[in-house]
A = this chain, B = another copy of it.
Amino acid sequence: MKFNNCIVTGIDLGGSALRLSTVTGNGRLRYSRRVDISERREKKYIIASIINNVRELSAIERHHGNEVMAVGIGSPGIIDLNKGVVIASPNFKDWEDVRLRSILQKALDLPVILDNDANAAAYGEKWKGAGRKVNSLVCLTMGTGIGGGIILNGDVWHGIDGMAGEIGHMTVNPAGPRCNCRNTGCLEAYSSATGMVRSAAAALKCGKRSILKKLSNGDNSSITARMIYEAALKGDGLSTEILAEAGKYLGIAMASLINILNPEMIVLTGAVTGAWDLFMPAARQEVKKRAYNVLAERTQIVKGKLTDSAGIVGAAGLALKQIEI
């Protein structure tokens, strides 16, 4: 049975905000909520917020004659998909072996599907975004970190433990800088917001001249990726270089992904893609240089279409799939 008029709730648990929305069977957002959690990240508070907001949204839908049938949630961190457990999360220090799926299921009395946030975003872009017309794509969420989701034959490829798609932690330069994951030279160490900020701070420390010094009032720790972007737009040499370097390593990773998976599309999404014109030329150059021609010409590299709501839409889509019989 396929519920075309079915309503589900999609949840995107981000580092700074918890975002929820009821979503139709066609992927249209209905009633939405945003809870700022940049100041309060304790497990108890967040789980209570999720439960309360899902209940409220269900009540609103019920008032309009609709029944929320399931909940999908995309969470950052390392997730045991089979058990529905968040094993650890870089954003939430006190999250360790949190049985999120069963906790929510019990409290809400609804089927709950838990997946990685980047997988949810990838599925969202496949279902209702840039990848609507393709069956295979790789999606990179480029923000504070770099997440990845792989869609093959229309479905998320989870791997044996549900942890596939950690594309941010491909090694793109073995001798590169240390990454948060303890490896060196990961894609994330170059092409995430954090990576670019690290590059800028390191260059300034070495005496490189840049208007970033002025913009940050000489305080390297206050540099942000947005600052680098704005400085580059003003013609700052160092900032332009950092964005090109981020693009270069992104291109190296994409070339390898193309040679490994021969996908129809690579979708780039997340805040960093705001600087698209500043990093993509270098990225495309590396893809051209490093991927097999036939494959590189085939793979479309595009910006995500759902922007902020890819995760919510995708989580909802995964929940819908779950209850389709």
Given contacts A161-B295, A183-B289, A183-B290, contact A171 B256 (CB under 8 A): yes
| CB 8 Å contact bits of A235-268 with B (1 = contact, 0 = none) | 0000000000000010010011101111110000
Q: Check: A152 CB closer than 8 A to any chain B CB.
A: yes
Check A165–B260 contact: CB distance below 8 A: yes
CB distance from A266 to the nearest CB of B (A): 12
Check B171–A290 contact: CB distance below 8 A: yes
Q: Check: A60 CB closer than 8 A to any chain B CB.
A: no
Check A252–B171 contact: CB distance below 8 A: yes
Check B262–A167 contact: CB distance below 8 A: no
State which of B135, B252, B263, B264 has its C-beta within 8 Å of the C-beta of A174: B252
State which of B136, B160, B174, B184 has its C-beta within 8 Å of the C-beta of A159: B136
| CB 8 Å contact bits of A57-101 with B (1 = contact, 0 = none) | 000000000000000000000100000000100000000000000
State which of B164, B291, B292 has its C-beta within 8 Å of the C-beta of A260: B164
Tally chain A residues at the interface, Cβ within 8 Å. Answer: 47
- In the complex, which residues of chain B have a beta carbon less than 8 angstroms from the beta carbon of A164? 260-262
Q: Check: A305 CB closer than 8 A to any chain B CB.
A: no
User: CA separation between A175 and B162, bound complex, in Å?
Assistant: 33
- In the complex, which residues of chain B have a beta carbon less than 8 angstroms from the beta carbon of A148? 260
User: CA separation between A262 and B161, bound complex, in Å?
Assistant: 7
User: How many chain copies?
Assistant: 2
CB distance from A191 to the nearest CB of B (A): 13
Q: Check: A201 CB closer than 8 A to any chain B CB.
A: no
Given contacts A171-B172, A252-B171, contact A163 B262 (CB under 8 A): yes
Check B172–A262 contact: CB distance below 8 A: no
State which of B136, B162, B165 has its C-beta within 8 Å of the C-beta of A160: B136
Q: Check: A158 CB closer than 8 A to any chain B CB.
A: yes
- In the complex, which residues of chain B have a beta carbon less than 8 angstroms from the beta carbon of A249? 174
Q: Check: A230 CB closer than 8 A to any chain B CB.
A: no
Given contacts A87-B294, A160-B298, A171-B255, contact A260 B260 (CB under 8 A): yes
Given contacts A256-B170, A260-B167, contact A157 B161 (CB under 8 A): no
User: CA separation between A254 and B256, bound complex, in Å?
Assistant: 12
- In the complex, which residues of chain B have a beta carbon less than 8 angstroms from the beta carbon of A157? 152, 261
Q: Check: A51 CB closer than 8 A to any chain B CB.
A: no
Q: Check: A35 CB closer than 8 A to any chain B CB.
A: no
Which are the 9 A-B pairs with shortest beta-carbon distances? A159-B262, A164-B262, A166-B259, A170-B256, A183-B290, A163-B262, A169-B259, A160-B264, A171-B252
- Identify 6 new A-B residue pairs, CB closer than 8 A, beyond the known A162-B262, A172-B174: A159-B261, A159-B262, A160-B262, A164-B261, A170-B256, A170-B260
CB pairs A–B below 8 angstroms (9 shown): A160-B263, A161-B295, A163-B262, A164-B262, A171-B252, A174-B252, A181-B292, A183-B255, A184-B290
